[in-house]
Structure formats: structure tokens, C-alpha cells
Amino acid sequence: MVGWALSAASLVFMAGAVRRIHATSMLMVHAPWTTEGGNANELRQRATMLDSVARSMQAAYARSGQPPEVIASWLDDRDHWFTADEAMNLGLATETVAEPALAMVPCNVFACRHPVPHHLNARLNTMPTLNHSPAPAPIPAGADAIRAEAIRAEAQRRNDIRAAFEPFARRNDIPADDLRALQANCESDPACTVGDAGRRLLALMARDVVPANPIGGAFISGHGHGYGGDRMAEFRAAATDALLIRAGIQVAEPDPALRDVRGLSVVAMAERILSMRGESTRDLAPAQVLARGMSTSDFTNLLANVAGKALRDGYLTAPATHALWTAEREVPDFKPATLVSLSEAPNLLLVPELAEYKHGAMSESATGFKADTFGRILLVSRQALLNDDLAAFTSMPALFGQSARRLEADKVYETLQGTGNLPDGSPLFHASRGNLAPAGSAPTVDMIGEARAMMRKQKDIAGLSYLDPQPRFLIVPVALETKAEALLASLNDPTDSGSTTSSRVIPEWIRGLQLVADPRLDAVSATAWYLAANHQQMQTIVRAYIAGEGRPYIEEHSEFNRDAVATKARLDLAVGVVDWRGLVKNPGA
């Protein structure tokens, strides 16, 4: 009988006191190895286990009589093949069987990690591709029989692997390059059986898959709509949208993986994040899961994302009449800043033939002011998070956002109605500026027409050229809002005391004004009203923010001395007048 003792079979072979080997047999020795995966801790444990197995193998191979360093050389990263004569010389075998072989003991020639060495089987890498596995042929005796069987088995193995991969080549949820690389690797690895190839294929399909519901056991594929390269960031995005929607905050474009995380509580999201970080939450109470999650930046970033988006939503959805007619600018820091309003360019002058062009200068006016910081801190308790109280970190930040918007409006209308002087020594509205109506009246066609004329007569800073700003906004207190709406919506002047047939048609430009009404104006005067130019043509009152900072900005911080998360919201803001020429005030009746 003929047989090969390869890999672990050689270890079994060493158990005998008398170890007989046929003249045509082979022996192969290599270090212990594993194909199993796992996280870093599991792999370190398996490496320690493999080292222990290697030491026990050294004790078994020591029966050959070889010194420890020789045996250690057999347990490296290569396969060591020995013929019968070599095994006898090394002491691995004690006797040689010289009788002619009658048959071959069935064995898996490719049970090792690497292919049979080239000098033993030169034909393995040049064999033809078989489309169909041939029927088993009678096996001749001797070494040629072994070689023939090895070639046939290898061809069938490769064909079976190709057949296993073929159905997946037409799928779009697995990268084609990765699939081809895995198939080539499986085919070139003689130790890879069809079953091994199937397991590797499943591992490839599950490479970017994470559990989406720890209770239901659902999974999301990274090749589809779920988590791709940065799975943690994508999970946070989907979880953020889920919490916002559950809190009643509208999300314009929800994350595609929203449906897979929508049912998770805050504690379940913390558990998911810990699991994705490779941390076990087995046997942990919800409070412990939450506490451990709060110690990670990924979970606190999730809470910050939710609070930040809620804050921004509150900011953007709050009433903001001031944002319609004022302009925005950025300042680099909190130092006193100067916002410059440039006049129109100097008039072009006649240039005679061959004469030189004359230089011109831009006149400028400047208003100086500085940004200030406004903010508050909100504490979200551990109990609120355990109770899945979404109002704690959605409703309250949204209210902060609304508060920031109201602060802007307060500052803008305070500036519009202020009585203090600008840097040139006069108040914002003054007869010397030509932007204050001498006699007050409610908004009528005639009064609005007079205010427009005052605005269009404004000249540049140098007093040389007309700037001709055009009114775009009619700003009134809410006490005059209904009358102003009726005026702008009518074709005929509702204030005309004449007959219906002789009433004046309201000019198109008046009906094209955008009405702005704000109750902050009523607090000072329920009769005064204003015209404002489009800020794209001329910037009048400006809101300035610190460059690069959120509007508003939010920060999250875990409180060490109490079970809470602190949410800090702040707004860096300055409001000032850049150019008064685009504003006209009528003091009203």
C-alpha cells in the first residue's frame, strides 16, 4: 500500500515507535496554521494558541533525533517535503517498505497550504482547462498513478470553483474586481476546496455588512444602500435622521439607510456603535451601555449631530423678517471691524488723442463695530437619554436656534429705530441726509412715491453722481400691515376718495414692493414706516458673523461631575450700518 503523510498526518505518523514508509511515499511538515478570522484580540489569542501547538509538535518530531534548531526550521512559513530516503536519513521514518505497490490509498494531495513543489509536479501549472469533469479513470500503480490522480483532482477543483463563482459574476452588489481577485486566489490555492471557496465568497459579500437591528437581526449591505467605506460615519448619518424624524423635525433628504435604524432607541444606538468599535456589550445593563457609549467620540458625535441639526432647523424656521432686507458679511475675529461702503466709480473723462488717462479715486465711508458672543448651555440628563426623551436633545436645541434668530432680529430693528449718531455725527435718519420725510403719513401711493423720490436722489459719498438706489421693501409695524397689504394687492388706490371710475391705478412698481412687517417696530412707533433698497444693489444694515463659525454654533461635552451631557449654543454677531442712502423713513401720522 502507498500513502503520503502530509501536514497533520506526518504528526500522526510520528506517534509510532516503528514508522514504516514505502519507497514511493512522501512526508510533508509545516507549522500549524488557521484560516479563521476575528478581531484583533481573537487573532492574538489564536496566535498564542498556534505557538503552543508548535511547541507540542516539536516534541513529537523530536523522536527523529534531530536537534531542536533543525526541527524549528521545519515549522517556519514553508512546507517541507521529504522523500522516503530523506525521511529515513532524518530519522522521521525507521523502516523502508521495499515491496512493489499494489494500489494507492485515497488521499487529498492538496491538504496543505501551498502547491506541490515544481520539481515534484511540473505539470500542475500548465495543465489544460477542463469544461467538464472527466469520469474517474482507472488508477495505475506507482508514482505515476499518484501524479495522474493529482492532476485530475486539481482540474476538477478549479472547474468546481469556477462553477461556484459564475452565478455571482452578474450581480451588482459585489465589486467585479474584488470578485475576480478572490476567484483567482481560490483557484491558485491548492488548499482551497469548493467549500472553502464558498465560505470565502460569503465573507466577501459580508465584508461591508453590519447588523442594523440587534433584535430583529437584519443586515445592511455596504455595496447597496447601507454602510460603505466609512461605516461609522454612515451609521451616524442614518441614526441622526432617524432621531430627528422621530422628534417631528423635517429632514429634506433622509439617509437611504434610515429604514434600517428608525426603530432603534438611543441606548440601542449606543450599543450598535460600541459593537462597530469591536466592544462587547454582552451582560451590560442599559445604563452601563449608555455610560460606555458616552465615553466614545462616535456616540457623543451622534448626539451632537442631532442637536446641531435641530438647532439649525430651529434657526432657519424661526420668523426672520430682518433677513429679507439686510445683508450678510463675515469678519475674521472679534477685534473692532470696519465695514466699507464704496461709492460708484468716478466719472469717465474725455481723453484727447495721444493724451494720458487721468487717475480717479474711489470715495469710501466706514462704519466701525465689533462682533460679540451670545450663548447658553443646556444639560441633558442620563435619565432623559435612558428614557429615550428626544425632546431633551432635539426640541431644546431647536428652541436655542429660534432664540438665536430672534436675537438677530432684535439687533437689526434696534439699529433701524436707533436714535444714536453714526460716526459722522448724525443719526441714521436725518433731514441733512435726505432720507427722513418732513411730514408723517400712513403709507399711500403719494407718500410712497415721495419716499422713492428721496431715495433715488441720493448721491455718492463724494456728492458728485447720483447713485439712484431703487426701493424694494416696504417695512411697516404690524399695526399698518393690513392696510399695506391692501395697498400692494390692489389695482386701484384704496385710499383715493374719488369715484370708482376715476380712482387712480396703483403703479406697477408699488405693487412689486415686498412687504415686511415686524412687531418690534410697534414697540417704538406704530405709525413709522420705511423703504429699503435691495441689498444686492446697496447694502444698508448688515449682519456680520465670525468667519468659519456656525450660525449658530453648537458643542457637546460630557459632564464628569454629574450624569449629564452639556450642549452649548452660541452665536457670534455684529449688526451695523454700512450705507444709509438705501433707507428712507416716514415718521407716520
pLDDT band for 344, please (50, 70, 90 cuts): low
Least confident of 5-14, 49-58, 70-79, 171-180: 171-180
pLDDT band for 57, please (50, 70, 90 cuts): confident
Name the pTM for this structure: 0.55
Mean pLDDT of 270-286: 85
CB atoms closer than 10 angstroms to residue 129: 8
The single-letter code of the amino acid at 536 is: Q
Cα–Cα distance list, 354 to 168, 328, 357 (Å) = 80, 45, 9
- Of 152, 388, 148, 380, the C-alpha closest to 268 is 388
Q: Look at residue 367 in the predicted model and tell me its pLDDT.
A: 67
The single-letter code of the amino acid at 535 is: H
- 246, with CB counted inside 10 A (0-12, 13-18, 19+), is middle
Indicate the angle between helix axes 395-416 and 297-317, nearest 10 degrees: 40
CB atoms closer than 10 angstroms to residue 251: 14
- Of 413, 480, 471, the C-alpha closest to 442 is 480
pLDDT tens for each residue of 400-451: 888 899 999 999 999 999 888 888 889 999 999 999 998 778 899 999 999 9
Q: Is the pLDDT of residue 345 over 70?
A: no
Q: Look at residue 393 in the predicted model and tell me its pLDDT.
A: 66
Q: Quote the cell numbers at residue 185.
A: 486566489
The answer to whether the beta carbons of residues 275 and 281 sit under 8 Å apart is yes
16 Ramachandran zone, left/alpha/beta (phi>0; psi -120 to 50)? beta
CATH number, domain 5-178, options 3.90.226, 3.90.1150, 3.40.50, 3.30.1380: 3.90.226
The answer to whether the beta carbons of residues 452 and 460 sit under 8 Å apart is no
Instruction: Please tell me the distance from the alpha carbon of residue 38 to that of residue 542, in angstroms, as a whole number.
Output: 59
Q: Look at residue 220 in the predicted model and tell me its pLDDT.
A: 42
The single-letter code of the amino acid at 538 is: M
| Higher-scoring residue by pLDDT: 589, 420 | 420
Domain boundaries, the chain: 5-178, 219-295, 321-347+362-377+405-552+568-589
Q: Is the pLDDT of residue 472 over 60?
A: yes
Q: Look at residue 207 in the predicted model and tell me its pLDDT.
A: 60
Share of the chain above pLDDT 90, in %: 18
Q: Is the pLDDT of residue 257 over 70?
A: yes
CB atoms closer than 10 angstroms to residue 410: 13
At residue 421, the 3 state secondary structure works out as: strand
What average pLDDT does the chain have?
A: 78
pLDDT band for 360, please (50, 70, 90 cuts): low
Instruction: Please tell me the distance from the alpha carbon of residue 24 to that of residue 1, in angstroms, as a whole number.
Output: 10
pLDDT tens for each residue of 498-555: 545 456 789 999 999 999 999 999 999 999 999 999 988 888 999 989 888 777 877 7
pLDDT band for 219, please (50, 70, 90 cuts): very low
For 500, list phi and psi in degrees, rounded to 5. Answer: -65, -35
For 219, list phi and psi in degrees, rounded to 5. Answer: -130, 155
